Amino acid sequence: MIEVLEHIDDVKKIRKLIIGGLTQDAIKACDVTIAHNQKKVDEFEKWAEEESQRDYDRSFREKRKALQDKVKTNPFPGTIPEGVS
């Protein structure tokens, strides 16, 4: 929520600059605000990609272990495992 309030403050500042006829200053303020928010988006996307990769790796390891356990239990499907009559 704080980020939203900061963004509103930025827009209000830009509005005042435009009303005051300071177009170039308003454009600079827009550029700063855009760059600031773009940085946040880029950082979030990087974090999300890293989390996604971790989840994928974890899921792959879990599936591989389950398969290995299954093979250890009955390495030849369709046959009766040793010790079972």
Confidence band for 62, pLDDT divided at 50, 70 and 90? confident
pLDDT of residue 83: 64
- Report residue 82's pLDDT band, with 50, 70 and 90 as the boundaries: low
- Torsion, Cα 15 17 20 25, to 10 degrees, reads -150
> Above 60 in pLDDT, residue 85?
no
Contact call for residues 63 and 37 (beta carbons, < 8 A): no
Asked if 21 contacts 9 with a C-beta cutoff of 8 angstroms, the reply is no
The two three-digit tokens of residue 1, written as one number: 């929520």
Mean pLDDT of 65-73: 74
The domain locations on the chain are: 6-70
